[in-house]
Amino acid sequence: MNEETRNKNGIGNEQKKSPGEKPAERKKIILSGIQPTGIFTLGNYIGAIRNWGVMQEEYHCAYFIADLHSLTVRQEPAALRKQSLEAFALLLACGIDPDKSLVFIQSHVHNHAELSWILSCNSSFGALSRMTQFKDKAARHADNVNAGLFTYPALMAADILLYQPDYVPVGEDQRQHLEFTRDIVEHFNGIYGNVFRMPEAYIPKAGARVMSLQDPAKKMSKSDPNPNAYISILDEPNVIINKFRRAVTDSETEVCFREGKDGINNLMTIYSVITGRSLDQIERDFAGKGYGDFKAEVGSAVAEKLRPIREDFARFMQDKEWLAQQYRRGAEKAAEISARTLAKVKKKVGLLMP
C-alpha cells in the first residue's frame, strides 16, 4: 500500500461509494504480530511470516513487532531494544514491504495498551486461567509469574481488535488466544452493540506447528536452550545443514510420512513447504535413499531459501536511519487507524470524552 492508497482505503475504513453505485467489495483486512525475543526461527517463518508476505499482495495488511508482550518475561533492556530493531528489519527482509503493508512496533502506538486495559476488564479470570501458554510459561518462569503474563491474551485481543481485521494469520500455538479474542468480541458486542468485527484465525494447512529438531514432540522455539533444536533464519548455510544432519529421527530408513515418525514427518513438512513439493512426491523422490541423503537435501533447500533474507537483513541493518523512518511512518498511520476503534470503545463503555 503506498501512502495515497492507504489514505483512501485505510485499514478499518469502508470504501465510500457515490449514490446509486453498487457497493464495491470491501478489501479484507489482515493483522498479525511477532515477539522480538530473539531472531525468528524457521517455525515462525513457515507457520506465520511466509504467509504474511503473500497476503500483502491481495489484502490490507498490518504487521507489528509485539515488544510489549515480551515484557511478560524479564528482559535485559539493552538486548530487548536491539532485538526489537532487528526484528523490525527481519520482517522487512522476509518480504513485508512497508509500501504495501502497515508495519510498526507495538509500543509506539499507545492505543494497544489502553484498549488492553478495557478488554482486561471484560476478560474473565476463569478463561485467562485456562490458557495453555500461561500455564506453560508460568511453569518455566516460576520466579516471575506476573500479572502481565496472566492478562497477555487481553493485550493480544486489543492488538487485533483495534484494526478490525478479518483474518489473523498465525501458527497453531496461537489458536487458543484467537478463540479468546473471539469470545471477547461476542461478549463485548453483546453488551455494547456492534463494536468489533469478528476476526478469524488463518492457520496454514502445512507447517502450522514446526517441531524441534532435537525433540520432535516439542514445538520449535527460539527460547529453546539447545540451539540445535531450532533453525534461526539468520543461521549460516553450513550451520543450517549441520543442524538438519543432526536432527533426531527414528531407527528406520524409509522416508515416508507416517504416524509415529514424528522426526521424519517434521522434516518432510518443512521440505514440502520450502520446495512446494507434495509429500507423495517427496516419498517418490527419496525412495530407496536413506535419511542421510534426505537430511542433507532438506538442509541445503532451507539454507538456499533463507539466503536472500539473510542478505537483505544485513543490508537493512546498515541503514538505521531508513529503518527508523519506516517504523515511525508505520506508527503514525497505525495510531491514526487504531484511534478510531479506541474512541468508539471508550464512548460505548461510558468514558467521558475529552
Decide: is 69 part of the binding site for ligand TYM (CB under 6 A).
yes
As a whole number of angstroms, the distance between CA 8 and CA 15 comes to: 8
Minimal distance in Å, beta carbon 4 to ligand TYM?
Answer: 27
Active site residue 222: yes
Decide: is 48 part of the binding site for ligand TYM (CB under 6 A).
yes
Decide: is 154 part of the binding site for ligand TYM (CB under 6 A).
no
Task: Choose which of 29, 85, 102, 210 interacts with ligand TYM (CB under 6 A).
Answer: 210
Find the catalytic residue in 17, 82, 135, 137.
137
| Stretch touching ligand TYM by CB under 6 A, among 43-51, 243-251, 255-263, 304-312 | 43-51
Q: Which residue is nearest to ligand TYM (CB)?
A: 47
Minimal distance in Å, beta carbon 77 to ligand TYM?
Answer: 19
Decide: is 209 part of the binding site for ligand TYM (CB under 6 A).
yes
If you search the block for the grid coordinates 513487532, which residue do you land on?
Answer: 65
Active site residue 137: yes
Minimal distance in Å, beta carbon 168 to ligand TYM?
Answer: 5
Decide: is 43 part of the binding site for ligand TYM (CB under 6 A).
yes
Size of the site for ligand TYM (CB under 6 A): 24
CA distances 294 to 114, 129, 268, Å, are 50, 43, 9
Find the catalytic residue in 27, 222, 346, 348.
222
Residue 220: count of CB within 10 angstroms of its CB:
25
Decide: is 108 part of the binding site for ligand TYM (CB under 6 A).
no
* Closest to 108 measured CA to CA, from 79, 85, 89: 85
Minimal distance in Å, beta carbon 209 to ligand TYM?
Answer: 5
Closer to ligand TYM at the Cβ: 200 or 252?
200
- Among residue numbers 179 through 208, which ones bind ligand TYM (CB under 6 A)? 208
CA distances 283 to 28, 251, 286, 287, Å, are 37, 17, 5, 6
Decide: is 160 part of the binding site for ligand TYM (CB under 6 A).
yes
Find the catalytic residue in 82, 135, 219, 333.
219
Task: Choose which of 91, 115, 213, 220 interacts with ligand TYM (CB under 6 A).
Answer: 220
Minimal distance in Å, beta carbon 67 to ligand TYM?
Answer: 10
Minimal distance in Å, beta carbon 210 to ligand TYM?
Answer: 4
Task: Choose which of 105, 170, 213, 323 interacts with ligand TYM (CB under 6 A).
Answer: 170
Confirm if 91 and 44 have CB atoms less than 8 A apart.
Answer: no
Cell of 115: 484498549
Active site residue 348: no
| Stretch touching ligand TYM by CB under 6 A, among 8-16, 76-84, 91-99, 171-179 | 171-179
Minimal distance in Å, beta carbon 146 to ligand TYM?
Answer: 16
Decide: is 216 part of the binding site for ligand TYM (CB under 6 A).
no
As a whole number of angstroms, the distance between CA 84 and CA 276 comes to: 31
CB-based burial label for 21 (10 Å; 0-12, 13-18, 19+): exposed
Tell me the catalytic residues.
Answer: 137, 219, 222
Binding interface with ligand TYM (CB under 6 A): 32-35, 43-44, 46-48, 66, 69, 156, 159-160, 168, 170-171, 173-174, 208-210, 219-220
